[in-house]
Amino acid sequence: MPKFVLTFEGGRQPSSPEEGQKHMADYMAWMKNLGEAIVMPQTPFKTSKIVSKDGVSDPSGPPLMGFLMIEAEDMAAAVEIAQACPFLEMGEMRVAETMEMS
């Protein structure tokens, strides 16, 4: 089955501890609902750098917050999974299909 990486991008902080707790509970319920579709659970990022042949710089724009990897029938199914994620109330997600390298 194809594998997809879902990235968490941008996002705002919860406006209160209660909102944060509700968001985390909703997110954990979403993750539990994914069941065996999860190949690699969410991995949050702390900091990042942009590396190019010209040097190293700090990223601009919305930060990359983390990722997880899932299995899904196709891109449409992976997008449907992402559309159900509670993170969308705080930021955006990107869905990318992985390629098998031999």
| Residue-range domain boundaries for the chain | 3-97
Q: pLDDT tens for residues 16-70?
A: 999 999 999 999 999 999 999 999 998 999 989 999 999 999 999 888 999 999 9
Report whether 45 contacts 52 (CB < 8 A).
no
pTM assigned to the model:
0.88
CATH number for the domain running over 3-97: 3.30.70.1060
The CA distances from residue 85 to 39, 47, 50, 102, in Å, are 16, 23, 27, 32
Tokens standing for 89? 């109330």
